[in-house]
Amino acid sequence: MFLALRDLRRSKVRFGLLIVAVGLLIFLTLFLQTLFASLVNSFTGGLRNQSGTVVVFGADARKNLSGSVITPAQQAAINDVPSVQSYGPLGVGAFTVTPAGANPKPVDAFLFGYELTKPGAPTTLTRGRLPQTANEAVVTANVPGFGLGQTVQIVPSSDAVDPLPITIVGEATDLRYSVQTTLFVSYNTFIAARRTANPAAAQQPVFPAAIVVTPNPGISPEQLARTITQTVTGTDALSRAAAAAAQPGVASVNQSFGLLILLTVIVVVMVMAFFFLILTVQKQNAFTLLRAAGASKGYLRRAILIEVVVVLAGGLLCGFVLLALGVLVINQIFPATVNPNAALGYGIFLCVLGFLGALFALARIRKFRPENAANAPALGGLA
């Protein structure tokens, strides 16, 4: 302990640099992991957190809600599938919405329309209640201008049409879709929003993007999804989790962030291994002399271990502080939230890996034999 702490005190700059480097790497890994989790949540939250456990897409949509359409004939056919307990339409679309407040600037938002007594309701309500009638919505929590009791408006594409007012009656967490604020409204409100945004298509039918289904007890969503895909022509049914994973961007985010996080983890391990190995090799003479003076291998290993622990603890602290700052900054452009348990788990995992990297240095101690002191000219011995 004494040796390690003295060394740390004498080489403040060296260890300071290492702590900052390890801290930055831990920050980078945690930040990537936070960004990854937030992106996936923000891409698919609306779909994952609605009550239908099976999602039926049009087969031509490539499992993309924005491009999917289910025809009335397909809806009827889904009704005839055995094991369907209940089902309902899910309308999904992007709209320009004016938030509440003084001089509000219109923003992009998604509307999810569902039949209020059928599957499709948001499941993560934290405040207020679900919509009970037209022009009411549950919205992504903590979005300025979309607070409980406030009224927002769907912006029409023509002066000839009035904006469609929607009153916020509930807030729910993890309810974004395609990273945008998402409002869950009645299916009729969704149709009205479509007519408002595009009055030119007033004579055209509004088909749901998907049908959300609840299976009979004892039937798994996966089983029912397979049955629907096989029996209803032109549909592609998936369990809710699989449907969320199939949304645009999720697979590429998974692949690319997985690769980036892996590369960063490798760099963390290498930096730790590289630094402590060089440090140990540099101290070869001093360690050999200490061994000759009676210090045990365990004593020297403990000294290095203490340094490793101090560096990792400092790096972890530095990483968490930077993560908190990084998330504050990133929240200006993207809604990211840190999952403290996941971040802590990841941080500890990185420290374990860093520790494993430093084991090379500990193994090196084995080579420092006391008798070598007599042969080392730098220690006054004979070559």
Q: Which residues bind other proteins (CB under 8 A)?
A: 13-14, 17-18, 20-21, 24-25, 27-28, 31-32, 35, 58, 60-62, 66-67, 69, 94-96, 106-108, 155-157, 159, 178-179, 194, 197-198, 200-201, 204-207, 248, 251-252, 255-256, 259-260, 263-264, 266-267, 270-271, 273-275, 277-279, 282, 326, 329-330, 333-334
CA distance 95 to 113: 13
Least distance to other proteins, CB of residue 203, Å: 9
Least distance to other proteins, CB of residue 123, Å: 26
Q: Where are the beta strands (DSSP E) in the chain?
A: 54-58, 84-98, 107-114, 125-128, 136-140, 151-154, 164-172, 181-186, 210-215, 235-239
Least distance to other proteins, CB of residue 266, Å: 6
C-beta of residue 182 within 8 angstroms of C-beta of residue 46: yes
Cβ nearer to other proteins, comparing 18 with 305: 18
Cβ nearer to other proteins, comparing 124 with 249: 249
CA distance 91 to 113: 5
Count of Cβ atoms closer than 10 Å to residue 273 Cβ = 18
Least distance to other proteins, CB of residue 378, Å: 9
C-beta of residue 58 within 8 angstroms of C-beta of residue 78: no
Count of Cβ atoms closer than 10 Å to residue 105 Cβ = 8
Cβ nearer to other proteins, comparing 300 with 336: 336
Least distance to other proteins, CB of residue 144, Å: 17
Cβ nearer to other proteins, comparing 18 with 290: 18
CA distance 251 to 245: 7
Phi, psi (5° rounding) for residue 290?
A: -60, -40
C-beta of residue 325 within 8 angstroms of C-beta of residue 30: no
Cβ nearer to other proteins, comparing 274 with 299: 274
Cβ nearer to other proteins, comparing 117 with 203: 203
Cβ nearer to other proteins, comparing 53 with 74: 74
Least distance to other proteins, CB of residue 251, Å: 7
Least distance to other proteins, CB of residue 13, Å: 7
- Containing 32, the helix (H) or strand (E) segment is helix 12-48
CA distances from 298 to 67, 281, 356, 358 (A): 65, 17, 17, 15
Geometric angle at alpha carbon 188, from 151 and 141, rounded to 5°: 40
Cβ nearer to other proteins, comparing 51 with 66: 66
CA distance 250 to 184: 22
Cβ nearer to other proteins, comparing 251 with 342: 251
CA distance 233 to 237: 11
Least distance to other proteins, CB of residue 6, Å: 16
- Could you tell me which residues come within 8 angstroms of residue 193 by beta carbon, excluding any fewer than 6 positions away? 93, 95, 111, 113, 154, 164, 166, 185
- Nearest CA to 276 among 194, 359, 176? 359
Least distance to other proteins, CB of residue 96, Å: 5
Least distance to other proteins, CB of residue 290, Å: 18
CA distance 231 to 222: 14
Cβ nearer to other proteins, comparing 76 with 278: 278
